[in-house]
A and B are shown apart, each in its own frame.
Chain A
């Protein structure tokens, strides 16, 4: 692990994007459910109070209200924690937002196990599965400050509903000011011929660290940044896998129907190859620090490297 590198909050990237969008487009409206200080929509609220609505502790109402706003031609960003956005309000998201194909961009923070100390009730581990299953819903899981900022700006102008999963902890900065986000296109972070590692969000830097460790042993892993989980970049994944012949997916999420599931669905039909899925193995989360939990659930670079090593042996 690199000792000193810059880390930043992905939520700050979200807030920066909202300010930029709000400045140049009057249709941008932001809704929150009493978590504006956590999701960072507070900054938009201060700049554009007339275009911000706090729905209170009522996530279902947040989503249905967002749908109505979008029906009047607004581009609506709806924010709360990932667990409430996708679980608590699932029916509103499915039946009122997505079925109506409305421009509601659900940008949820606190996705995954790295929520930490609050424990299982606040750790969204099934959100990608839930959102991915809804027709018309796009799913984006950005990895750092810049990717979050650019992804949010991109989904604002992609027709219909989208889900952007944002995390709680500060994460290493992987991109820079000039980063260009390409919606729907997996990005090759490093080339390699021995195995394809697919990762997104918080797991991307862990996968890259694992690849570094493996490289020192002569294992060349190709690392794909699958920031757009849906629509899936079929060509990008197949092109990499056709060269490496093996896949390891890494997600801060249940392995049931998530990122690994999406990749497996593609490969099992188009290019069956040996595969391993790293993620939460069908269990609830628990309290602990983010770092402890990442290690506890085997999501850290060392563990990932171990899985890849065993897989290729």
Chain B
């Protein structure tokens, strides 16, 4: 006699779903990290540290949270993503390629003359890039503009912006923060890649940001804190952020260079490409993770 398998229900069902979701996202994140390291290694320049620290966040956005269609990059109702910390372009390119915005082979031409993949995101060259960034402190304001524009036309799409902690030393971040809360932009979610490092060293040693969540609360934002490498934690925060009547900042605690042991928390890999040997070593480590 065959006893029919019963699909789990209730809490048990959620557990299975979560397990599947976690595995799905973690696998993509592993592939995305591999692509990031390889494209920067082949380019011979770029920013691996801050690309790896935000990889899990971007994977959660593009492969779970965001409503988007790579076949229709101009679809009016798509959710928008702005990479305010534009130097993490390799992470964005990896998720865009894997989503299907362009051929993955383009990744290996990163930063080369004539490539669609510029050192920093260029909306005119790369399908899926909403706005060109690279000069820090401006992407969040552009995201505020997008959120205003969508609200004006009654468009239900949401806007997501990823900013850096070093980037938060730019005054423009706080100008945008004020306008967003004044305008009560409930269609805007920002995520802070709080990896603690910038080019010149630890953020707290360069110009300390102080109590970051308190600062954002003081600027009138809802604030959530997550482990920026726990995909379920990130996803549930992204869900929760939709329920507020105000803009929400998700402070994601991350590790710079996450996923490659010799890059982790190593400030040298902020803006330095791995050597060919380092690249091979890093790729092997990611494959084995």
Contact = CB atoms under 8 A, between A and B. Distances in A.
Interface stretch (A64-72, A183-191, A201-209): A64-72
A100 interface: yes
Nearest to B84: A64
A274 B152 CA distance: 54
Contact of B145 (A50, A60, A65, A95): A65
Contact of A65 (B123, B133, B153, B179): B179
A60 B172 contact: yes
Interface string B136-160: 0011011111111110110100000
A81 to B, nearest CB: 17
Nearest to B183: A53
Contacts, number: 108
A interface: dominant SS: helix
Contact of A71 (B76, B130, B152): B130
B189 interface: no
A58 interface: yes
A9 B179 CA distance: 31
Contact of A58 (B76, B155, B178): B178
A61 B182 CA distance: 13
A35 interface: no
A71 B175 contact: no
A55 interface: yes
B132 interface: yes
Interface residues of B, number: 35
A29 B152 contact: yes
A92 B135 CA distance: 8
B145 A67 contact: yes
Interface residues of A, number: 29
Contact of B132 (A61, A74, A100): A100
Nearest to A64: B141
B152 A95 contact: no
Given A68-B131, A96-B133, A56 B146 contact: no
B92 interface: no
Interface in A53-111: 53, 55-56, 58, 60-61, 64-74, 76, 91-92, 95-96, 99-102
Contacts of B76: 73
Contact of B141 (A68, A74, A76): A68
A29 B149 CA distance: 9
Contacts of A99: 122, 132
A170 interface: no
Given A95-B138, A99-B122, A70 B132 contact: no
B153 A64 contact: no
B124 interface: yes
A101 B132 CA distance: 9
A95 B149 contact: no
Of the listed residues B139, B178, B179, B182, the one surrounded by the most CB atoms of chain A closer than 10 A to its CB is: B179
B14 to A, nearest CB: 36
Nearest to B123: A100
Interface string A17-51: 00000000000010000000000000000000011
A33 to B, nearest CB: 10
Contact of A67 (B124, B131, B171): B131
A79 B107 CA distance: 40
Contact of A95 (B135, B143, B150, B183): B135
B213 to A, nearest CB: 22
Given A56-B179, A96-B131, A101-B124, A68 B143 contact: yes
A261 to B, nearest CB: 26
A74 B138 contact: no
B70 interface: no
B145 A66 contact: yes
Given A68-B141, A92-B135, A96-B142, 10 more contacts: A64-B139, A68-B144, A71-B131, A72-B80, A73-B149, A92-B138, A95-B132, A95-B135, A99-B132, A102-B131
Q: Rank and list the top 3 A-B pairs by shortest CB-CB distance, nearest first.
A: A68-B145, A72-B149, A64-B141
Interface of A: 29, 50-51, 53, 55-56, 58, 60-61, 64-74, 76, 91-92, 95-96, 99-102
